[in-house]
Amino acid sequence: MDRRNFLKKSCTACLSLTVISSMVSSCISTKYVTGKVGQNGIAIDKDDFKIRQKGGTAYSSFVIVRNEILKYPICIYRINDNEYTALWMRCTHQGAELQASGDVLQCSAHGSEFNSKGQVRNGPANIALRTFPVTVTNNEIFIDLRKQS
Ligand code: FES
């Protein structure tokens, strides 16, 4: 095999791997939960983050709480087993509902992006997302809807 053919085949293999990995990651579906509504907020289970996988347990980096009591969904990011963030999925630019894509919340209206802590990554939005306090007790993750920042 000459140099030209080697480079051609190598590039084809790299492109194929890139396309396949992006197809696989796009097939991982977003998990929605309704949670249990209480007097002061909504509770979900830590197990809501578990992903069935051969050879062990894996965890989704986020789940989305959709409930009729909420005007917008809340995205819960799992930082580690005892640390979570709860983000109001309303764009701070003009109020469109955000879409979760991995560790980024994106706005399809004008392209703003926010990180998993709600901070602006790309404008035109220039204000961080509203967040809710989260407490973790045993297997329960409680999102306090009384307070927000
Ligand atoms: S409403 Fe989200 S970027 Fe404009």
Per DSSP, the residues of 1-23 read --HHHHHHHHHHHHHHHHHHHHH
Atom of ligand 1 nearest to the CA of 94: 1
Q: What does pTM read for this prediction?
A: 0.76
* Tens digits of residue pLDDT in 110-143: 999 999 999 999 989 999 999 999 999 999 999 9
Residue whose CA is at the smallest distance from ligand 1 atom 1: 94
Q: 113: CA distance to ligand 1 center in Å? A: 9
Q: 124: CA distance to ligand 1 center in Å? A: 7
* Tens digits of residue pLDDT in 72-102: 999 999 999 899 999 999 999 999 999 999 8
Atom of ligand 1 nearest to the CA of 108: 2
